[in-house]
């Protein structure tokens, strides 16, 4: 994969991109790489779900909400343990960062 120009997705000091409209899958892969995460289909389920939730409601899902929406959309539940395996630092924060969204203000 070619390195993306850092100007194409300027980040704040915590690594969240400043202009979500510049987000795309290539940016997501690059941000994930910086987080030490190799994206899988399970990662994309979470990323897409958080983006959909955020753009529909204007807020971030809580862990319980995330689990319920995953079940409704994909028919399976991901335990908190599995979410932390996918996004070890913090599922909502890391997934939001990779999804090109602002820093969440929700508690776990």
pLDDT tens digits for range 45-81: 999 999 999 999 999 988 888 888 888 877 776 777 8
What pLDDT shows up at residue 2?
47
Output the CA torsion 79→35→98→58 (10° steps): 70
Angle at 21 between CA 16 and CA 24, to 5 degrees: 80
15 an active-site residue? no
- Full-model pTM: 0.84
- Which pLDDT score, from 0 to 100, does residue 106 have? 64
Q: What are the structure tokens assigned to 41, written together?
A: 């289909």
- Name the catalytic one among 1, 7, 40, 107: 107
pLDDT computed for residue 107 by the predictor: 56
Which tokens belong to 68?
Answer: 């319920």
- Residue 1: pLDDT band (50, 70, 90) is very low
Q: Helix, strand, or coil here: 84?
A: helix
pLDDT at site 65:
83
CA 92 to chain centre: 7
């Amino acid at each position: 994969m070619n390195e993306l120009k850092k100007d194409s997705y300027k980040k704040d000091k915590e690594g969240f991109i400043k202009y979500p409209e510049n987000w795309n899958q290539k940016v997501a892969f690059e941000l994930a790489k910086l987080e030490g995460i190799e994206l899988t289909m399970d990662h994309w389920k979470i990323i897409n779900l958080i983006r959909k939730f955020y753009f529909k409601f204007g807020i971030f899902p809580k862990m319980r909400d995330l689990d319920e929406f995953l079940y409704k959309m994909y028919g399976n539940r991901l335990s908190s343990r599995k979410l932390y395996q996918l996004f070890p630092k913090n599922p909502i924060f890391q997934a939001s960062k990779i999804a090109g969204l602002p820093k969440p203000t929700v508690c776990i």
